[in-house]
Structure 1
Amino acid sequence: MATVATPNMSSVGECPILPSAAIAITPADGNTFACPISVYVGGAGIVTCSPASGGADVAITMPAGSVVPFRVLAVKATGTTATLMVAVY
């Protein structure tokens, strides 16, 4: 059996902390999150969101069971077709 090298190994004390909470997301054009969050997408579709870095809203086609690849401040109702979304923080 081969040993697979793991780059940047760290001790248990240095491992990143996993998110500690999650809430269901109801897309809304006027609401924002108090802090940037990660978005898990349970049902495939388009997620229209505001990136945490600012700038224009972004529409991303997401497969079921995936995570938006950046943190967001808002998930907009207009343009969003994805379902079963969860904010992870």
Structure 2
Amino acid sequence: MLIPCPYCGPRDLSEFTYQGDATRVRPDPGSTDQAAWNAYVYDRVNTAGDHSEFWQHSGGCRAHLRIVRSTLTHEVKSVAYARDSIHERSRA
């Protein structure tokens, strides 16, 4: 699988490290709601189709990326710097 890094260009999957699901929303750090924290840490949805994920280009420029990838075909649909996608969410 090739991942098109916005800085380095297309690179092999072996240069990247999976960082997790980019759709999860973390509870307020001051929250003592045990159920909310358990759901955040342990509950996962096994999506079939397009899925948003965080990856790091650990074998290259070290950038953190937000990638939309099909879990069925592994086709990479879009790539953006993670910092840009986080700022977009905070403005919404």
Q: TM-score range by the shorter chain?
A: under 0.3
Q: Which has the higher helix share?
A: 2
Could you tell me the TM-score, scaled by structure 2's length?
A: 0.24
Larger radius of gyration between Structure 1 and Structure 2: 1
Say which structure, 1 or 2, has more relative contact order (CA 8 Å, 6+ apart). 1
